[in-house]
């Protein structure tokens, strides 16, 4: 019985992972001035095993990472919309389709936004806050990536390692208002929305943009 209890505690710790949160001292004022937030595609890296890597070209892996980035972007957008419906989030969130279309028309590669300042991106998008960052995973969760891997290697096991690093920038002065770093090892669900729910659940009441 003791061994079973220890196993349960170990699995729980693995699933929870590690969380680091930075909130700007003046975050509440920044949040109060924010009307609309734009979520940019994250810089995604899919860390496949050597046995898996040898069966893909560099282009295929890059396409896999881009598909993952777009799925996570959509998942975050849905997460904020759900919170807004519940009344715990009052800001407007620009749709990923609009964000990506505006940036593309401006000649910006949506998968390489780190070349630009948040203020430059905010001016183009017409928002007060942009969310950007990186995501590293050992198990892609987008449909496209999952199918590509599944055809060659079968279904993934439930275990995955992931590191998500999110930055909320005020575009007026390029100030970092919130940095959220989440490390998870364990079961991450079945798709990008499950992933975002796990990553964001603990931080909902700790960032100034939510009530």
Q: Where are the domains of the chain?
A: 2-201
CATH classification code of 2-201: 3.40.50.10610
- How many CA atoms does the CB half-sphere of 82 hold within 13 Å? 12
d(CA 88, CA 2): 40
**Mean pLDDT, to the nearest integer, of 142-150?**
44
Task: Give tens-digit pLDDT for 100-126.
Answer: 999 999 999 999 999 999 999 999 999
pLDDT value of residue 52? 63
pTM score: 0.81
Give the whole-number percent of the chain exceeding pLDDT 70.
72
DSSP for 120-179, written as a single string: HHHHHHT-SEEEEEEEEESS--SHHHHHHHHHHH-SPPSEEEEEEEEEEEETTTTEEEEE
d(CA 93, CA 115): 23
- Cα-to-chain-centroid distance, residue 109: 18
* Contact criterion met (CB below 8 Å) for 125 and 99: yes
Task: Tokens 């300042």: give the residue.
Answer: 117
Q: How many CB atoms lie within 10 A of CB 182?
A: 21
Most confident of 43-57, 109-123, 173-187: 109-123
Q: 19: helix, coil or strand?
A: strand
Does the pLDDT at position 172 exceed 60? yes
The least confident of 8-22, 39-53, 69-83, 129-143 is 8-22
- How many CA atoms does the CB half-sphere of 185 hold within 13 Å? 6
* Contact criterion met (CB below 8 Å) for 129 and 177: yes
**Mean pLDDT, to the nearest integer, of 12-35?**
81
Average pLDDT value for the chain: 79
The least confident of 35-39, 60-64, 164-168, 188-192 is 188-192
pLDDT value of residue 1? 44
pLDDT value of residue 13? 38
pLDDT value of residue 161? 75
**Mean pLDDT, to the nearest integer, of 133-140?**
83
């Amino acid at each position: 019985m003791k061994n079973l209890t220890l196993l349960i505690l170990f699995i729980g710790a693995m699933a929870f992972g590690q969380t680091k949160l930075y909130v700007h001292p003046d975050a509440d004022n920044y949040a109060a001035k924010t009307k609309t937030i734009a979520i940019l595609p994250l810089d995604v890296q899919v860390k496949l095993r050597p046995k898996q890597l040898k069966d893909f070209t560099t282009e295929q892996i890059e396409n896999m990472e881009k598909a993952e980035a777009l799925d996570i972007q959509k998942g975050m957008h849905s997460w904020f919309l759900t919170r807004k419906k519940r009344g715990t989030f009052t800001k407007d969130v620009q749709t990923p389709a609009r964000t990506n279309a505006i940036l593309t028309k401006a000649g910006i590669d949506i998968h390489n936004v780190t070349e630009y300042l948040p203020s430059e991106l905010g001016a183009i998008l017409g928002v007060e806050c942009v969310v950007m960052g990186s995501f590293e995973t050992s198990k892609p969760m987008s449909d496209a990536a999952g199918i590509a891997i599944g055809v060659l290697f079968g279904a993934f096991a439930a275990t995955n390692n992931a590191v998500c690093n999110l930055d909320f920038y005020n575009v007026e002065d390029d100030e970092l208002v919130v940095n959220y770093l989440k490390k998870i090892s364990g079961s991450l669900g079945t798709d990008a929305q499950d992933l975002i729910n796990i990553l964001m659940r603990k931080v909902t009441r700790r960032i100034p943009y939510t009530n």
